[in-house]
Structure 1
Amino acid sequence: MKLPSPRGSLSERLIDILGGGAGDLRAEPDGEDDLQLSLFICYELAYRGWDGVADEWEWHPALLGLRAALEDRFAQRLGRPEPADPQTVPAALAAIVAADDGPSLSGYLRGRSTHEQFREFVMHRSVYHLREADPHTWAIPRLAGRAKAALIEIQIDEYGGGVTGRMHQELFKQTMTWFGLDLTYGAYVDRVPAATLAVNNLMSYFGMHRARRGAILGHLTAYEMTSSLPNRAYGNGLRRLGGDAKATAFYDEHVEADAVHEQIAAHDLCGTFAQAEPELAGQVLWGARCALAIDNLWATGVLDAWAEGRSSLRE
C-alpha cells in the first residue's frame, strides 16, 4: 500500500519520517482525521506494510511510543469494561445486539440508494473487507481449548476453507469489479473519512494486544450476530441496481455463513472463553458494545451525508 496523504501535522511528520525523512515522532494530532490516519498508519505496519517503508519500523521504539499515545487518546471515548457473570455472557451478548438502535444503513442500501451511493459504500468497506478476518486472527494464539477451536472454525470459513477464490477478501473484489473500482489493497484509504478509519482502528486496537483478547472476541461476535440480515439487504439492494451473481456473491455468502457463526461465536467462543477466564467476561461484552457504537457512528455519518445530497467520501 502506498503511504496516504497527510491530514494534519502529525500524520505529515509520520509519513515523512517513514518515507526516509528525519524528525521527532513526539507530537499531538491536530484533530480526529489526523489522529485516526496516524493510528491507521502505525497499525498497518503490522499487517502488509507500506510501499518503500522498512519492515523494521513495525517494532521501532519511537513508533511504538507514538502508537501507544494515540491509542490512549482513542481509548478515552470507549469507556471501560465492567465485571460480568461468565455464565451469562452468551445471553448478555444477545441482549446487547437486541438493544442496538443504530441507523439502518442496510435498509437504505436495500431500497433507496443510488448506484453511486452503493459504490461509495463499497469504497468505505474495502478498507476492511480486503483484509477481512485478519484483525480477529490475532486472537488465535492467545486462546486454548474449545474457544480456540471455535475461533479457528469461524476463521476457516472467512478464509474460504483454504480455497483462494472463496476467501471473503477475494469475493469482495468481485463486488468492487462490478462497480469498476480499484482492487489494490488500501486503494481508498485517502478517500474515506476518519470514522471509517476508526472502525478499522478499533479492530486493530483490540486484536494486536493480548491484554484485550476478550474485547476482540466480543467484537467479532457482535459482527457475526449482526451480519446475516444486513448482508441479505445488501445483496438485494445490489440486485435492485442490476448486480449479477458474482457481484452479490460476497453478501450472499455471509447470509448463510454468519447465521451459523453467530451461535458458534456467542456460545463456543465467547461463552467458553468467559468461563475459562472469568475475569475477562466483562471485557467480551465491552468489545461487543464498542464494535456496535463505532460502526453506528460511521453509518450515521454516511447517511447524514447522503441526506444532505453530498458524498460521504473525502475529496
Structure 2
Amino acid sequence: MQSNLVMFPSAEAGKISIQTKERTFTKYERAEEQFIKLLVTEDLDNKLDVEPARASEFEQTLSWAISAAYQSDRSDQQAHRFLQRILYRINRLKLFWYDDLRHYTNERSPYLYSCRNQIEAAWQKWELAQIDVAALQKLDVKQALIERASADLDPPLSQDSRYIREEMTEVGYSHLLAIASFDGLVEGSRLSRILGGTANEVQCTLVRVLLEEYGNGRLSRKHSTFFAQMLTEFGMNTQPEGYFDLVPWEVLACGNHNFLTTERKRYFLHYNGALTYFEVAGPAAYRNYLAAAQRLRLSEAAMGYWELHIREDERHGRWMLDDVALPLAEKYPDQAWELVLGYDQEKLMGDRATTAVMRSIREAEQAALLT
C-alpha cells in the first residue's frame, strides 16, 4: 500500500503566467517537498539541533507564507494553500492510517509542533478577525442556536445550489466526488477525539453520532464505505487522500480547524457548536447532490451515500441541537457564546469552501469541453 503520510498524488496545481508568481509558487513547492522529507527523518529534532540548515529553506518559506497569507492586505492564495497543506500533514499524524509504523516516528516532535503552532497562531487570529465576537457574547445563546438551526435546516436555494441541481455535468459530479473524498473516506474520525472523559448525556449523544457514522461497528454500513462505492462506480481512486492535490485550501482549512478544536479541550464548546451546524446544514447540501445525480440518471451506487446522509444527518442535527448544544449552554452559561462562535465560524468557513469547490468544478467542466 502506498504511504499515506509521504506520497500524495503529484498532479500539477496549475501554471501561473506572471513570472514573479511563478517563482513564488515554485518556492512553495520546494519548501513542501523539504518538509515531507523532514516528516520521516529519524530522530528529527536531534538532527536539526546539529544541522539546522536542513530546515532553513522551509522555515524561510513558512515565515514568508504566513506574512503573505495573514498579514498582508492582498492575501496570497498560494500562501494559503501551502500553509494549510503543511498544517494538514502535521495534523493527520493524530489519526492512524494503517500504514507503515515508521511514518509516525515524529508524531510528538517538538519541531513539528512548533511549526503547527506558528501557523495556527497567525491563522486563527486572521479567522477570528472575520467574526464579531463582542456581538456573540451578548446573545441569548439558546435562542440564537435555535434560530440559526431553523434557518439552516432548509435554506432557500442559492445560485450554486441551482447550478448543481440543474446544470452540473457528470464531469462536474465526478470532480465533486474527488474533492469530497478527502473527508468522505475518513469521516467521523476527528469526532472520536473528544469522546473520552466522564459519562453524561451529552457524551452519550456524541457517541451515538459517531457510532452511526461508523455503521455501528460494521464496515459494510460505515458511511465511508458508501462513499467508496460512489467512487468505484466511476472507476475512481478509493484510497483516502487519493485526490489530495485537488482539494482547495479552503476545504483543508475546515479539516485543520476541526483538528485544532478537537485537540484542545478548552475548545470543546467551540467544536460542538461547529458540529451542530455541520449536522443541521448537511442534508440541504446532500439533497442538491442527490438531485444532480438523479437528473444525470446515475445508478443507486453512484448516489447512495447522499440518501443515507440525508436520513441520518437530519436525526443527528436534532440530537446535536437538543441533546448537546442546548444542554451545554445551560451547563456553561458564562462561556456558552462559544457554541455560537463555533456554529457561525463553521458556517463561514463552510461557505468559503463551497465557493472554492464550485469554482474548481466549473474549471474542470470547462477543461473537459476544450479536450
TM-score by length of 2: 0.76
Instruction: Name 1:68's counterpart in structure 2.
Output: 117
1:191 CA displacement: 2.3
- Residue segments in structure 1 that go unaligned for 5+ positions in a row: none
- Residue segments in structure 2 that go unaligned for 5+ positions in a row: 11-25, 49-53, 66-78
Contact conserved, 1:136 with 1:216, CA < 8 A, in 2? no
Q: What are the superposed Cα offsets for residues 118-147 of structure 1, whole Å, 9 maximum, x if unpaired?
A: 111111111111111111222212564111
When residues 96 and 140 of structure 1 are mapped into structure 2, their CA distance, relative to the original with a 3 A threshold, is: farther
Letter in 1 for 2:307: D
Contact conserved, 1:10 with 1:29, CA < 8 A, in 2? no
Work out which structure has the larger RCO, using CA pairs closer than 8 Å and 6 or more positions apart in sequence: 1
When residues 306 and 233 of structure 1 are mapped into structure 2, their CA distance, relative to the original with a 3 A threshold, is: closer
Name the stretch that deviates more: 200-209 or 302-311.
Answer: 302-311
Where 2:245 maps in the other structure, the secondary structure is coil
Identity fraction in percent: 20
Q: What are the superposed Cα offsets for residues 194-243 of structure 1, whole Å, 9 maximum, x if unpaired?
A: 12211221221222221111111111111111112221221221122232
- Aligned pair 1:28/2:28, yes or no? no
TM-score by length of 1: 0.88
Letter in 1 for 2:36: I
Instruction: Name 2:35's counterpart in structure 1.
Output: 14
- Aligned pair 1:228/2:263, yes or no? no
Where 2:334 maps in the other structure, the secondary structure is helix
Letter in 1 for 2:37: D
Where 2:96 maps in the other structure, the secondary structure is coil
Q: CA–CA distance in 2 between the matches of 1:2 and 1:62?
A: 17
1:99 CA displacement: 11
Letter in 2 for 1:28: S
RMSD of Structure 2 on Structure 1 (CA): 2.8
1:152 CA displacement: 1.2
When residues 9 and 103 of structure 1 are mapped into structure 2, their CA distance, relative to the original with a 3 A threshold, is: farther
Which of residues 78, 103, 108 is equivalent to 1:59? 108
- Aligned pair 1:256/2:311, yes or no? yes
Contact conserved, 1:86 with 1:281, CA < 8 A, in 2? yes
Letter in 2 for 1:60: S
Contact conserved, 2:5 with 2:103, CA < 8 A, in 1? no
Aligned length: 312
Name the stretch that deviates more: 56-65 or 87-96.
Answer: 87-96
Letter in 1 for 2:35: L
Letter in 2 for 1:46: K
Instruction: Name 1:283's counterpart in structure 2.
Output: 338
1:76 CA displacement: 2.0
Contact conserved, 2:283 with 2:310, CA < 8 A, in 1? yes
Q: CA–CA distance in 1 between the matches of 2:367 and 2:83?
A: 22
Task: Answer with 1 or 2: which has the greater Rg.
Answer: 2
